[in-house]
């Protein structure tokens, strides 16, 4: 079987996945196992809401544990603070751009597990990030949008801590 694609992620994103996995394995799953065992000891399982809910919740937790384990196994942690300084855009860059309508916007290029539009964190696989990657400060790139092509000017490229 071929190796899975690398899961590029920042140190903060990696830490968040590890914490979620720890919480599921060491806290939530043992609690659900206790509830299921208690509910199973009450007899008829076919109409036992606690038992049925517990089994379903345990399947959800197990699925999430498998997903997180795979994501962490394939994780390639990229720290923007320790990477070589460059004005070229790569993963973990913080980029200030001027959109076609004249509005300035700052985006942080992060992993798929870290997307947070409220904090301007966009996936490195998003259309905007893909248009920006490998361009340099001062370049102009084109972004294909549902409304047509948009011209984007790259104002600042930084490699700083992404919280």
Looking at the fold, whether 13 and 31 belong to one and the same domain comes out as yes
Distance CA 55, CA 152 (A): 50
| pLDDT the model gives residue 85 | 82
In a domain, 2, yes or no: no
Which of 52, 77, 102 is a domain's end point?
77
Please state the rounded mean pLDDT for residues 123-139: 96
Q: Mind listing the pLDDT tens digit for each residue in 24-33? A: 999 999 999 9
Q: Using the predicted structure, report yes or no on whether residue 44 has a pLDDT greater than 80.
A: no
Q: Using the predicted structure, report yes or no on whether residue 4 has a pLDDT greater than 80.
A: no
Please state the rounded mean pLDDT for residues 44-62: 88
| pLDDT the model gives residue 1 | 41
Distance CA 24, CA 20 (A): 6
Looking at the fold, whether 91 and 116 belong to one and the same domain comes out as yes
Looking at the fold, whether 53 and 120 belong to one and the same domain comes out as no
In a domain, 62, yes or no: yes
| pLDDT the model gives residue 71 | 95
Task: Look at the block and give the residue holding tokens 């140190």.
Answer: 11
User: What SS3 state is found at 98?
Assistant: strand
| pLDDT the model gives residue 76 | 95
Q: Mind listing the pLDDT tens digit for each residue in 71-121? A: 999 999 999 999 888 999 999 999 999 998 999 999 999 999 999 999 999
Query: What CATH number should be reported for the domain holding residue 140?
Result: 3.10.50.30
Query: What CATH number should be reported for the domain holding residue 48?
Result: 1.10.287.180
In a domain, 163, yes or no: no
| pLDDT the model gives residue 114 | 95
- Using a pLDDT cut of 70, give the percent of the chain over it: 98
Q: What is the CA angle 20-25-31, rounded to 5?
A: 110
Looking at the fold, whether 144 and 132 belong to one and the same domain comes out as yes
Q: Mind listing the pLDDT tens digit for each residue in 132-148? A: 999 999 999 999 989 89
Looking at the fold, whether 69 and 85 belong to one and the same domain comes out as no
Sign of CA dihedral 92, 93, 95, 100: negative
1 vs 145, more confident: 145
Q: How many CA atoms lie within 13 A of 145 on its CB side?
A: 13
| Average model confidence (pLDDT) across the chain | 93
Q: What is the CA angle 82-114-57, rounded to 5?
A: 135
| pLDDT the model gives residue 91 | 96
Q: Which domain holds residue 31?
A: 7-77
Distance CA 85, CA 58 (A): 46
- How much is the pTM? 0.83
Looking at the fold, whether 33 and 14 belong to one and the same domain comes out as yes
Structural domains counted in the chain: 2
């Amino acid at each position: 079987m071929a190796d899975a694609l690398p899961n590029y992620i920042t140190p903060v994103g990696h830490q968040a996945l590890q914490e979620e996995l720890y919480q599921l394995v060491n806290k939530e799953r043992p609690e659900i196992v206790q509830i299921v065992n208690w509910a199973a000891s009450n007899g008829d399982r076919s109409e036992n809401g606690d038992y049925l809910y517990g089994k379903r919740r345990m399947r959800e937790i197990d699925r999430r544990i498998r997903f997180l384990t795979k994501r962490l196994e394939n994780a390639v942690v990229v720290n923007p603070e320790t990477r070589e300084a460059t004005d070229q855009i790569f993963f973990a860059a913080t980029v200030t751009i001027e959109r076609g309508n004249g509005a300035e916007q700052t985006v942080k290029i992060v992993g798929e597990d870290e997307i947070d539009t409220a904090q301007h964190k966009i996936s490195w696989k998003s259309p905007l990030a893909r248009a920006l990657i490998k361009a340099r400060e001062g370049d102009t790139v084109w972004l294909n949008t549902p409304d047509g092509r948009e011209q984007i000017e790259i104002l600042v490229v930084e490699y700083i801590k992404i919280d």
